[in-house]
């Protein structure tokens, strides 16, 4: 199923339970604007490459639109549309004053030099600069984009419109970035995991964890789970997956991540190399998908042997797989709650920027914890009282807030 249709299916499911009605529902399904631009760039060898870039603005009823920018060969309009919609629900679930948007450039950054990457980024921002802005739409990091890319975005936008650090979040600390932003998504995933475990009478020290993906989200999730005493039994990156029933040596592996050494080259006693699918079907208490979307198909879902799935990635579960998990009684804490820590600290960064303030890391983390745990409690209570899945409960809360704002503002 195409990604946008999959997201819309979740929206319709929740809307039906809520009795929202077709007028409001149709407003919530379609993006407000779609910017589709060509990004011509001169490569280092003098040749011209033309990439396609997208910024899709899904909904602004609750505030300026917010969402990351990803660089990946699989990026297309459908994918970005789905991810933009998810941002609308995510910002509403954690009740921060934003709508939702997402951007992407269909390119393979592995084949681009640093200079080429900078030129791609600056050209893309030139092309969409009228559509974004600190009170309009605020990009952030996502797959294959980082603080350096955000610095170029801030610089290019500021050249065109005057100094505006609040136009983008996830910036370097030296350029009006926020303490705690880089680790925020992985940290939030583990706050949510801890809350779930608390509800079932356990702590991180009692459980085994598998993490699929070792980029920004996966590496910080593995680190914080490990620091909390969890046994990380399986881990993967794009090169392959590794498993060790006794628990992997996370400090050593974090160095692999930092130096971008492929996990497929890792050798240690008791560690076996397995496939990505074997990782997803490893028997484990907590399974954290933290890579790309669509990894749980219905077939894979039948084989999963996890106590709970906490979605660090966006849209890792296909709707058919969601049904399999529901039938098999495996709870799935959805992306729009589980990985909302990133955009929450993006909100803190933006709030600091527009007030010209600087918060300490402790202040950022304690505010993040408060938002994540209280959002978790709201969704958990709904799961219990309405007897719905975690995903449906999260969509009910998100849709409710956006629908109310839409009706109050007037169509």
Binding stretches for ligand GLU (CB under 6 A): 66-68, 90, 140, 142, 169, 314, 339, 342-343, 346
Euclidean distance between CA atoms 109 and 107, whole angstroms: 6
Give phi and psi for 357, each to the nearest 5.
-120, 165
Q: Residue 222 CB, nearest distance to ligand GLU (Å)?
A: 18
Residue 404 designated active-site: no
Q: Residue 210 CB, nearest distance to ligand GLU (Å)?
A: 21
Q: Give the residue with the Cβ less far from ligand GLU, 141 or 281.
A: 141
Q: Residue 108 CB, nearest distance to ligand GLU (Å)?
A: 19
Q: Give the residue with the Cβ less far from ligand GLU, 106 or 144.
A: 144
Q: Give the residue with the Cβ less far from ligand GLU, 281 or 339.
A: 339
Inter-CA distances, 389 with 45, 293, 331, 332, 377, Å: 53, 20, 7, 8, 14
Q: Residue 76 CB, nearest distance to ligand GLU (Å)?
A: 17
**Out of 2, 66, 90, 102, which one is annotated catalytic?**
102
Grouping H, G, I as helix, E, B as strand and the rest as coil, residue 273 is: strand
Q: Which residues have a Cβ under 8 Å from the Cβ of 252 and sit 6 or more positions away?
A: 268
Asked if residues 379 and 394 have their Cβ atoms less than 8 Å apart, the reply is yes
Q: Give the residue with the Cβ less far from ligand GLU, 117 or 138.
A: 138
Grouping H, G, I as helix, E, B as strand and the rest as coil, residue 368 is: helix
Q: Write out the H or E segment, with its range, that includes residue 301.
A: helix 298-303
Q: Residue 72 CB, nearest distance to ligand GLU (Å)?
A: 12
Find, among 298, 300, 279, the residue nearest to 290 by Cα.
Answer: 279
- Packing angle, helices 114-128 and 147-161, rounded to 10: 40
Q: Give the residue with the Cβ less far from ligand GLU, 144 or 389.
A: 144
Q: What is the DSSP letter of 367?
A: H
Q: Residue 340 CB, nearest distance to ligand GLU (Å)?
A: 7
Euclidean distance between CA atoms 393 and 386, whole angstroms: 8
Nearest residue to ligand GLU, scored by beta-carbon proximity: 68
Q: Residue 334 CB, nearest distance to ligand GLU (Å)?
A: 12
Euclidean distance between CA atoms 324 and 341, whole angstroms: 27
219's tokens: 């590496």
DSSP character string of 138-183: E--B-TT--HHHHHHHHHHHHHHHS--GGG-SS--GGGT--TTTTT
Grouping H, G, I as helix, E, B as strand and the rest as coil, residue 55 is: strand
Q: Give the residue with the Cβ less far from ligand GLU, 204 or 337.
A: 337
Q: Write out the H or E segment, with its range, that includes residue 57.
A: strand 48-59
Q: Give the residue with the Cβ less far from ligand GLU, 68 or 218.
A: 68
Catalytic residues: 102
């Amino acid at each position: 199923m195409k990604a946008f249709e999959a997201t819309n299916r979740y929206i319709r499911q929740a809307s039906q339970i809520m009795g929202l009605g077709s007028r409001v529902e149709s407003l919530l399904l379609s993006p407000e604007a779609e910017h589709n631009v060509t990004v011509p760039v001169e490569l280092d060898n003098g040749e011209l490459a033309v990439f396609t870039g997208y910024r899709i603005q899904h909904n602004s009823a609750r505030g300026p639109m917010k969402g990351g920018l990803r660089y990946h060969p699989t990026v297309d309009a459908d994918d970005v549309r789905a991810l933009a919609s998810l941002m609308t629900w995510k910002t509403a679930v954690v009740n921060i004053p934003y709508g939702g948007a997402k951007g992407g450039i269909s390119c393979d950054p592995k084949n681009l030099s640093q200079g080429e990457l900078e030129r791609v980024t600056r050209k893309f921002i030139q092309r969409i600069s009228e559509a974004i802005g600190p009170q309009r739409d605020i990009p952030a990091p996502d797959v294959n984009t980082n603080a350096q890319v955000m610095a170029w975005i801030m610089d290019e936008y500021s050249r065109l419109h005057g100094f505006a650090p609040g136009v983008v979040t996830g910036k370097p600390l030296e350029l009006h970035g926020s303490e705690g932003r880089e680790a925020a998504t992985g940290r939030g995933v583990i706050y949510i995991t801890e809350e779930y475990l608390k509800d079932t009478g356990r702590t991180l020290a009692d459980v085994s964890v598998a993490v699929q993906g070792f980029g920004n989200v996966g590496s910080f999730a593995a680190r914080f789970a490990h620091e909390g005493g969890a046994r990380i039994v399986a881990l993967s990156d794009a090169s392959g997956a590794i498993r060790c029933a006794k628990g992997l040596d996370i400090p050593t592996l974090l160095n692999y991540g930092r130096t971008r050494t492929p996990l497929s080259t890792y050798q240690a006693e008791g560690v076996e190399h397995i496939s990505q699918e074997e990782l997803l079907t490893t028997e484990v208490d907590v399974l954290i998908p933290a890579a790309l979307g669509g990894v749980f198909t219905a077939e894979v879902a039948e084989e999963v042997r996890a106590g709970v799935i906490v979605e660090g990635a966006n849209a890792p579960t296909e709707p058919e797989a969601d049904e399999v998990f529901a039938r098999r009684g495996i709870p799935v804490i959805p992306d729009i709650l589980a990985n909302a820590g990133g955009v929450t600290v993006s909100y803190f960064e933006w709030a600091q920027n527009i007030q010209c303030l600087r918060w300490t890391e402790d202040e950022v983390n304690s505010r993040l914890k408060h938002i994540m745990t209280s959002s978790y409690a709201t969704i958990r209570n709904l799961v219990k009282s309405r007897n719905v899945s975690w995903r449906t409960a999260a969509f009910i809360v998100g849709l409710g807030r956006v629908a109310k704002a839409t009706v109050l503002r007037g169509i």
